[in-house]
Amino acid sequence: MLVHRVRTWVSQPALLLALPAVLAAQQTRTVNGRVTDASNGQPIVNVQISVNGTLLGALTSQDGRFTISSVPTGARTFVARRIGYGTTRQDVTVGEGSPTEVNFVLAPVAKTLEEVVVSGVGAPAERRVVGNTVETVAGDAVSEAPAATSIDQALQGKITGAVISQNSGQPGGGVSVRLRGTNSILGGSEPLYVVDGVIVDNSSEALISLSANASRGNAAISNALSDLDPDDIERIEVLKGAAAAALYGSRANNGVIQIFTKRGQAGETNVTLRSEYSLSRIAKRYQLNMSPYAGYTDVQYGGADSIGEPIQRWDLQDEILRTGQGTSNQLSISGGSGPTTYFVSGGYDYDQGIINNTDYRRWNLRTNLSQRLSDKIEVGVRGSYIDSKANYVPEGEQTQGVLTSVIFTPTSVNQFFDKNLGRYPYNPVLGPNPLDVMNDWQAPQRVTRMVGGFEATAHPFSSLTVKYLAGIDDYRQEDRYFQPPYSTSATFTGSVENPVAFSRQFNNDLTATHVGQISEMLGLTSTAGFRYTSDRREVVRAAASDLQPGQDLVSGATQSASQSLTELRTMGLFLEERASIADRLYLTAGINYEASSAFGPDERWQFFPRLSASYVIGEEPWFQQALGNTVSSLRLRAAYGETGGQPPGLYSRFANYVDLPFSGKPGLVASTLAGNDSLLPEREREYEFGFDAGFARDRAQLEFTYYNRHVKDLVLSVPLPPSSGFSSQFQNIGELSNNGIEVALNTVNVSNPGFTWRSRLSYARNRGKVTRLVTSADTLLDGYLNVVVEGQPVGVFYGGVFARNPDGTIATKPTNLTYNGRDTTVNLPYRAQDTLPGGGLVNASRIIGNPEPDFVATFGNTFDIGKRLQVGVLLDGRFGNDVANFSKRIAQLFGADRSNEAEISGDTTFRVYSLNPNGRSTTYEAYIEDGSFVKLREISTALSFDDPWVQRFGARRLTLRVAGRNLYTWTDYSGLDPEINMFSASTVSRGVDFATTPLPRQFTMSVSLNF
């Protein structure tokens, strides 16, 4: 049995061990050590130290130290590894008598093939072995992301090719993540999130519509992931492709994001205390009409008598916006002795939004405990409890929206509190007064949540690992929406809605892995596993109207209630076989056989295969001889996989009956939606290939991937002949494709004592196309302008266009208008029309834009200056995406926009914008703008001290940090923010800016102490 030629990979308490273990009881020793950076001598945190041949290991603390107890005496090999540094091994004889000290000095490298990845591969493995793309994000990149209140927000700019947009600037505002394009039409498009092996709920279904109306996809301002604190993250792995995600079978079409939280480390107890203070300000305000004279809409709504007369105006943004303050505090304690390690943390976050009376407050508590029961069995318990409360205001297309009112109302309307009326005046255009909504209405959202699990790992014998995980994500979300009586009109009796959602997701996994060495050249790792998940979501709604003054609970005179319940269960078996040939070529084949309750019994069990190959060609002797001087490492990889997607409704396959009372008696009739018992999962097939190349002794690494995916069996609503008694049915009939490239370049530009500079540049391009709908002429409309048509990407903008002259300029036609009581004729542009075959005209609609970017790019730099200073800058860019500027459309229509000033002063044609009678409001071409942007996503400066004077506080290290988020945006977009989307996480409707709160500029200062 050979040992030294075979690569061994080492386990942490949760990772997998490979070598024959020494079983007999032996003498043991405690080993200490410290890990420092070769370039500047600074300690390195979170380095994994492991001992070959054992389950033992540790993680270095903030000052680079580690302690491993119970190391069996004798010759041992210690391995130190960490993202961004070269893996280093030391052979040490652990002796009797004095404790052994093992120190490491690690040199910075761009990436390493020995980095261990856990997810998507069945059993943990080094990156070199994995043929499909797995992208990792280090924990401190997430936990130290300035002012990020949620994990998905902290990931912006850190995943190659991922388009991560924060949908609204309200605190706790949700984030929409797209990995490799949009992969469904009626289904969801957000990836699956897994925290420590537990599949967590990230629904963004609105309980109360505060932005987009419930009839339009019902997307909420926030998403459920915003509850999870980014502070406790150890590492994140992103599985973008089908090959990586195939293990998650029928829920993985949009990729999987695996989140791992911190564990304890054996040795000294580490206490970290961090306190942060932040300020938020709006980056750009609406430019409103401040002309001193009245315009057309001021006469219609503002009480002016004639156009051109002097008038007073107000910019209500002065009353609505504020500088928000916030704080984030975190205390974490980790440590362990012998067989027990623990990590405990607690935190409190409070953020004020940039709109008055909006804020977000969160308490969280986490406990991760591991206990080694014997040399063979280890158990762990992980739990976190979150309590969050957010106060929102309505926005977007809601008539009660606060920013909505700013764009809908001419600036000459006085909306301040009227002492003569004793209340806020009604808004002449919408009804509710925005200041009243902001000050007196209530729209809180309260979540209490528990995410946790139990894990047991056993090594019955050396080459076999069995692991069992049971986890739960249980939360209760309660929203409320209180509209006081008489607040929208004189006949409005008030209304309170109070829906409560109970969601519980439970999964358990049992995995067994066997590592075998068949011969010197051939190793085989076999994995088999079983997974069972059970999800349940219940929503109970209560609402009341006819309220008494002062009454804000659901106990008004008129009450209504409803309840809905959805359940989903999945069950799956998977098998995977990995062959490692000559430690150079790795072939993996796996199959996932999975069933979901959403499908009928005949179609329930589905196969999801995957294949991958990884060839570390750079280690071939002939390669090193030929190209070894320029290319220090090269790995070729290729993968193929299939994943599935759940149907849009978990009960879509049933033929249901619905209520139809008649003549005072209860009645039931069949729904006109026919059931479909042969509904299949949407199926994605993807192949990808690429390479990882290192240059200049791995100081630079280039990663390149090309992927090509085809999704078929998309669920669409197919019309049925009415003579069947039905009108439609969900069928698996659509197809789409996404293909593109992802490129990342990591470099260590300078690595000197006293100055280190690393960079990361990424570029990705995706081309999506719908290849099949029910009929090739179908145009499926979602939202306002986004449609799904064959031959185009999902969600292109489709709307009216200007009539044009033969030379391409915009045509105008004379239009009769009344101006100050006189009739006048002006030349105004108008909407183009098409002639129908049978004669007659119809408004013309064309494809006018695409909200998906042509390409995305990020550029991040970190500088380590001297022993104390660290500076990081992250630029996040998106190019070629179009935005539908509905905010501007409405503001111009109602005379509230700065461009309306020109109508009043005569610098542009009268009423070319204001309530334009020529159909300008539906000539959407005028409102599609290029939303390309580069944002200074993060910039931070940190000063660390571990001098003696720090120790007088009792601390080992003090870090002061000053940072900013979204401080600056370079863009030509004329609206407030090209990133926001009124339709939030909607699959098809993207890129719509309609009175949505923009992302604020955030500035933070923090102090951390390590004890």
**Near another protein by CB under 8 A, which window of 398-406, 658-666, 751-759, 788-796?**
658-666
**Near another protein by CB under 8 A, which window of 8-16, 136-144, 316-324, 661-669?**
661-669
Phi-psi map region of 835: left, alpha, beta (phi>0 left; psi -120 to 50 alpha): beta
Q: Which of 363, 532, 863, 1011 binds another protein (CB under 8 A)?
A: 532
Closer by beta carbon to another protein, 421 or else 836? 836
Closer by beta carbon to another protein, 20 or else 95? 20
Tell me, rounded to whole angstroms, the distance of Cα 215 from its chain centroid.
24
d(CA 826, CA 822): 13
460-479: contacts with another protein (CB under 8 A):
460-463, 466, 468
Give 949's Cβ-side CA count (13 Å radius): 2
Interface characters, 367-386, with another protein (x: CB under 8 A): -------x-xx---------
CB of 544 to another protein, least distance (A): 19
Gyration radius from the chain CA atoms: 31
As a dihedral over the C-alpha atoms of residue 982, residue 984, residue 986, residue 990, rounded to 10 degrees, the angle is 50
CB of 723 to another protein, least distance (A): 5
775-804: contacts with another protein (CB under 8 A):
775
CB of 721 to another protein, least distance (A): 3
Alpha helix segments (H runs only) across 862-963 = 886-893, 901-905, 948-951
CB of 319 to another protein, least distance (A): 42
Closer by beta carbon to another protein, 513 or else 981? 513
Alpha helix segments (H runs only) across 217-258 = 242-245
Q: Are 182 and 189 in contact (CB under 8 A)?
A: yes
**Near another protein by CB under 8 A, which window of 7-15, 560-568, 609-617, 640-648?**
560-568
Q: Which of 567, 577, 583, 930 binds another protein (CB under 8 A)?
A: 567
Closer by beta carbon to another protein, 524 or else 669? 669
**DSSP character for 21?**
P
- CA distances 791 to 737, 785, 846, 882, 991, Å, are 10, 17, 14, 18, 20
Cα maximum dimension of the chain: 106
* Start-to-end Cα distance in the chain: 46
Interface characters, 270-299, with another protein (x: CB under 8 A): ------------------------------
Q: Which of 726, 755, 855, 945 binds another protein (CB under 8 A)?
A: 726
Closer by beta carbon to another protein, 97 or else 722? 722
Give the residue carrying structure tokens 């309750």: 597
631 touches another protein (CB under 8 A): no
**Nearest to 8, CA basis, from 462, 677, 611, 528:** 462
SS3 category, 335: strand
**Near another protein by CB under 8 A, which window of 245-253, 479-487, 507-515, 990-998?**
507-515
**Nearest to 196, CA basis, from 367, 375, 334:** 367
954-973: contacts with another protein (CB under 8 A):
none
Q: Which of 372, 604, 956, 957 binds another protein (CB under 8 A)?
A: 604
561 touches another protein (CB under 8 A): no
d(CA 406, CA 887): 10
199 touches another protein (CB under 8 A): no
Q: Which of 664, 840, 906, 948 binds another protein (CB under 8 A)?
A: 664
666 touches another protein (CB under 8 A): yes
Q: Which of 41, 601, 754, 917 binds another protein (CB under 8 A)?
A: 601
CB of 378 to another protein, least distance (A): 12
- What are the residues facing 859 on neighbouring strands? 761, 875
**What is the phi/psi pair of residue 154, to 5°?**
-65, -20
Degrees, nearest 5: CA angle 111-112-116: 120
As a dihedral over the C-alpha atoms of residue 550, residue 553, residue 556, residue 558, rounded to 10 degrees, the angle is 150
Q: What is the DSSP string of 355-372?
A: BTT-EEEEEEEEEEEEEE
**Near another protein by CB under 8 A, which window of 19-27, 355-363, 890-898, 924-932?**
19-27
667 touches another protein (CB under 8 A): yes
**Near another protein by CB under 8 A, which window of 403-411, 559-567, 630-638, 849-857?**
559-567
753 touches another protein (CB under 8 A): no
For residue 338, count CB atoms less than 10 angstroms from its CB and return exposed for 0-12, middle for 13-18, buried for 19 or more: exposed
Give the residue carrying structure tokens 């009326």: 421
- What are the residues facing 688 on neighbouring strands? 639, 707
CB of 398 to another protein, least distance (A): 27
297: tokens are 């809409």
654 touches another protein (CB under 8 A): yes
Interface characters, 300-339, with another protein (x: CB under 8 A): ----------------------------------------
571 touches another protein (CB under 8 A): yes
**Nearest to 794, CA basis, from 741, 731, 843, 847:** 847
Interface with another protein (CB under 8 A), residue total 66
825-854: contacts with another protein (CB under 8 A):
none
CB of 564 to another protein, least distance (A): 5
Give the residue carrying structure tokens 């996809």: 217
Q: Which of 99, 719, 791, 917 binds another protein (CB under 8 A)?
A: 719
524 touches another protein (CB under 8 A): no
Q: Which of 61, 223, 596, 643 binds another protein (CB under 8 A)?
A: 596
Residue 665, C-beta contacts closer than 8 angstroms, at least 6 positions apart: none
665 touches another protein (CB under 8 A): yes
Closer by beta carbon to another protein, 546 or else 677? 677
Sign of CA dihedral 803, 806, 807, 811: negative
Closer by beta carbon to another protein, 597 or else 792? 597
Sign of CA dihedral 695, 698, 699, 704: positive
502 touches another protein (CB under 8 A): no
Closer by beta carbon to another protein, 539 or else 811? 539
- CA distances 308 to 162, 288, 298, 429, Å, are 51, 17, 10, 21
Closer by beta carbon to another protein, 132 or else 545? 545
8 touches another protein (CB under 8 A): no
How many Cβ atoms are within 10 Å of 821's Cβ, its own excluded?
A: 8
Q: Which of 27, 414, 555, 564 binds another protein (CB under 8 A)?
A: 564
Phi-psi map region of 954: left, alpha, beta (phi>0 left; psi -120 to 50 alpha): left
24 touches another protein (CB under 8 A): yes
**Nearest to 18, CA basis, from 48, 50, 46:** 50
d(CA 992, CA 924): 12
d(CA 317, CA 313): 12
**Near another protein by CB under 8 A, which window of 436-444, 508-516, 889-897, 936-944?**
508-516
Interface characters, 668-697, with another protein (x: CB under 8 A): xxxxx-xx----------------------
SS3 category, 641: strand
**Near another protein by CB under 8 A, which window of 224-232, 237-245, 558-566, 842-850?**
558-566
Phi-psi map region of 572: left, alpha, beta (phi>0 left; psi -120 to 50 alpha): beta
**Near another protein by CB under 8 A, which window of 266-274, 342-350, 520-528, 721-729?**
721-729
Which residues make up the interface to another protein (CB under 8 A)?
1, 3, 20, 22-24, 374, 376-377, 458, 460-463, 466, 468, 508, 510, 512, 530, 532, 534, 564-571, 595-597, 601, 604, 651, 654-658, 660-672, 674-675, 719-727, 775
